[in-house]
Amino acid sequence: MNKKLISFMLAGFFLLSSSTNIFASSVIRESQREMMLSKGVTYKNVYSFTENGIQNINLVYVDLNNPDIKLDLLFNKDGFSKTQRVSDMVKNDSLSEDNGDILAAINADFFSMSKPAFSLGPMVKNSKVLSNPHYQINKYSSFLVDNDKNIFFSYLKPDVSITDITKNTNLPIAAINKPSKDYANIVMYTSEYFKNSPGANDTYYDLCEVVVVDDVVTDIRYGQPSVQIPPNGYILLSAGNNGLTLRDFFSIGDELKLNSTFSLDYSDNIDLAVGGGSLILKDGELFAPTQRVSGNSQRSAVGLTYNNELVLFTTDGRLSNVIGMKEEDVANYMKNLGCKDAMLFDGGGSTELIVNDTIVNTLVKGAERKIVDSLAVKSTAQKDEFDSIEAFIDKDFGYVDEKFKLTVNTFDSDFDPLNIPIESINFSVSGIDGTFNKNIFTPSSAGEGIIHVEYENEDVSIPITVVEKSNTDPHLVNELGQEGINIAFLSDMNKTSILLDNLIHIAYRKDIQKNSDNLFLLSNSNVGFEEKLDKPHYNFNGSYSSQVIDENLIINLNSSNGGFFKSKGQWDFFRNSLDTTLDNIFIVLNSKESLKVKDEAYEFKRTLHEASKDKNIYVIYRGNNFTQTLEDEVRFISIPDYKDVYRNDLLNDYKYLLININGKDITYTYRNIFN
């Protein structure tokens, strides 16, 4: 059997609508990760880091033609009048026997944050109506699944009524599992919402509760205490005038029928329904949003393709340096995926997608919001014997002592998932050393390694690159050689209030004049210092640039806004500059701001590591003191601004970076100007 290696991959462009506008600028890093969850269900992550920011999209594709795949509605089993985290819904559902394995779950409907909470739109689970559509017609759309797994996207009527078959009468009711203030309107409650009825009290002494079991009235309670709501029935309740109406309208023993938009329009064939936001695609055409949440935000959506695949969708948003999407952006994206129909779910802080018990989108503030309901994808297949294994790693480049997380999936011969404990999986590594704590790998040595994931003689091999950091650099010496050229580097030479500054600056200029051939300044703001220099010098201040000095490439990068990506075209310039025949590359960062986006810092160091395989790479940046870090063959050298130099020891504190270049042989020192 062919085994698939599933890992992070640098990939070609993933088709995106121009309305998202993220490919109008340079792509810094892009990856597509794909993982099979079961036969007919696939998870895909599409990540793009561009000059406009990060777009992180998660997708789950579900083949509705697979008879072993089931869609289900999840909510708090203690009653969805209480909101709950999606992860807890998934966890609690998994405790039920013969309920299928949850492969993925996505947040669903908008909801009221009142106490008790309630779903704004409809809810149907196992053909039982648990909530009626929103009272505003044509504002909030609905997602429906019939017993044959046909999918419908529609705006539904909110109308609900009860027919008394025995008396041949009909009574409109206000809502199902949506509380009415002061119990003024007639509302139906089921045990999925409340376990017990409210019951009369000193305030609502005239509350009437009609108990219905298996569509037959079994009790009419007027001004009586709380009672258990029957699991196979419901309670109709109201106070005031409508309470009197309830009391007099029904009789014990009456046979009733619930009439709702589902029974009227869909012939009692709806197995599942859940509400959401706007319908955004209908029959392959863009649909004007009817309910808006303004701005580029996190979004959740569900769509149906022409080949009967369900698509669950989330995108990150409202996070620092993350793009997010508008309603129209999601519509265009889903259309480009091949969806003919699609609608939005609740977004913003509610956005959440769980895959194999792991939250795959980025949560706002790092925390799950408690919500009313979620849509789950389950596998109900009968498990066979183990047949194959797949695995991927969260990153394939990192450092000694850094943790790498491995995700492992196991399948039977029909590619149905098996819940084999992670403790039963064998992990090992070759080419480098390291330890495993279950599926967490911590390397203890650097190099190019292969992680092996094995179970019952089936295995997956995953390449990994590990780099060691060291503050000891053999290229750092006390005295430089006499051959080749010397290049000096200074940071900002702006003065402080100390009277000795002029004398110290004179000493700097004299020593640099004597010992260097060229001088580079990192964003110097002291014009007077430069004007008195006799040595060729360059001030790397402002935007990015590069120049060649005696067959050595000097690249100036601007991170003044906390990232290279914020300067249009800078990443393309940087990568193109590395594509040179020159052996020595010196990269100067002209700002004290570091790369604030972790993914950009990761890509920067990964790019430098690749370049260092056949070139000398030095990164010189403005720091708080003179330090050096060696990461494999990439050298990061920090030099402080003049005003940041410690003044405890006048004769030893004042230094500058001096680099000697003799062909491909490079050494450097922190030269003391009073030495």
Domain layout of the chain by residue ranges: 59-114+276-379, 160-259, 382-467, 474-672
More confident residue, 74 or 9: 74
Q: Return the bridge partners of 628, or none.
A: 637
Mean pLDDT of 239-254: 97
The Cα 596–Cα 615 span in angstroms is: 27
Q: Return the bridge partners of 146, or none.
A: 270
Q: What pLDDT digit, counting tens, does each position of 131-148 carry? A: 999 999 899 999 999 999
Specify whether the CB–CB gap between 325 and 297 falls below 8 A.
yes
pTM (two decimals): 0.90
pLDDT of amino acid 264: 58
266 pLDDT band (50/70/90 cuts)? low
State which amino acid sits at residue 607: T
Q: Which residue has the tokens 């200074």?
A: 490
Q: Which residue has the tokens 């779910």?
A: 345
HEC readout, 520-583: EEECCCCHHHHHCCCCCEEEECCCCEEEEECCEEEEEECCCCCCHHHCCCHHHHHHHHHCCCCC
Mean pLDDT of 372-398: 95
Strand extents, DSSP E, 290-433: 299-305, 309-315, 339-344, 353-355, 358-359, 373-379, 386-393, 397-399, 404-412, 417-418, 426-430
Q: Is the pLDDT of residue 5 over 70?
A: no
Average pLDDT value over all residues in the chain: 92
The Cα 404–Cα 467 span in angstroms is: 13
Q: For 608, which DSSP code?
A: H
Q: CB atoms < 10 A from the CB of 594, how many?
A: 14
State which amino acid sits at residue 162: I
88 pLDDT band (50/70/90 cuts)? very high
Q: Return the bridge partners of 546, or none.
A: 555
3 pLDDT band (50/70/90 cuts)? very low
Mean pLDDT of 31-60: 95
CA distances from 590 to 60, 114, 496, 522, 562 (A): 43, 52, 20, 5, 11
In CATH terms, 160-259 corresponds, of 3.10.20, 1.10.238, 2.60.120, 2.60.40, to 2.60.120
Q: Considering only CA atoms, which of 192, 152, 186 is closest in space to residue 171? A: 186
Longest dimension (CA), the chain: 110
Taking domain 382-467, whether its CATH number is 2.60.40.1930 is answered by: yes
The H or E element containing residue 506 is helix 501-515
State which amino acid sits at residue 675: N
The Cα 129–Cα 273 span in angstroms is: 8
Q: Is the pLDDT of residue 648 over 90?
A: no
The Cα 29–Cα 63 span in angstroms is: 30
DSSP, collapsed to helix, strand or coil, labels residue 659 as strand
Mean pLDDT of 539-558: 93
18 pLDDT band (50/70/90 cuts)? very low
Q: What pLDDT digit, counting tens, does each position of 487-497 carry? A: 999 999 998 77
Mean pLDDT of 238-264: 92
pLDDT of amino acid 647: 76
Mean pLDDT of 268-284: 94
More confident residue, 24 or 383: 383
pLDDT of amino acid 224: 97
In CATH terms, 474-672 corresponds, of 3.60.21.10, 3.40.50.2300, 1.10.10.10, 3.40.50.12280, to 3.60.21.10
Mean pLDDT of 259-264: 78
The Cα 337–Cα 61 span in angstroms is: 10
CA dihedral defined by 96, 100, 104, 107, rounded to 10 degrees?
A: -50
pLDDT of amino acid 499: 79
500 pLDDT band (50/70/90 cuts)? confident
| % of the chain exceeding 90 in pLDDT | 85
pLDDT of amino acid 19: 35
The Cα 362–Cα 353 span in angstroms is: 9
Least confident segment among 26-30, 203-207, 222-226, 476-480? 26-30
DSSP, collapsed to helix, strand or coil, labels residue 16 as coil
pLDDT of amino acid 374: 98
pLDDT of amino acid 420: 94
Q: 160-259 and 474-672: same fold?
A: no
HEC readout, 311-353: EEEEECCCCCCECCECHHHHHHHHHHCCEEEEEECCCHHHCCE
pLDDT of amino acid 234: 98
Backbone angles phi, psi at 364, to 5 degrees: -65, 130
Q: Return the bridge partners of 220, or none.
A: 210
pLDDT of amino acid 261: 81
Mean pLDDT of 601-624: 96
Mean pLDDT of 569-578: 96
Tokens of 325: 């999407």
Q: For 76, which DSSP code?
A: -
Q: Is the pLDDT of residue 446 over 50?
A: yes
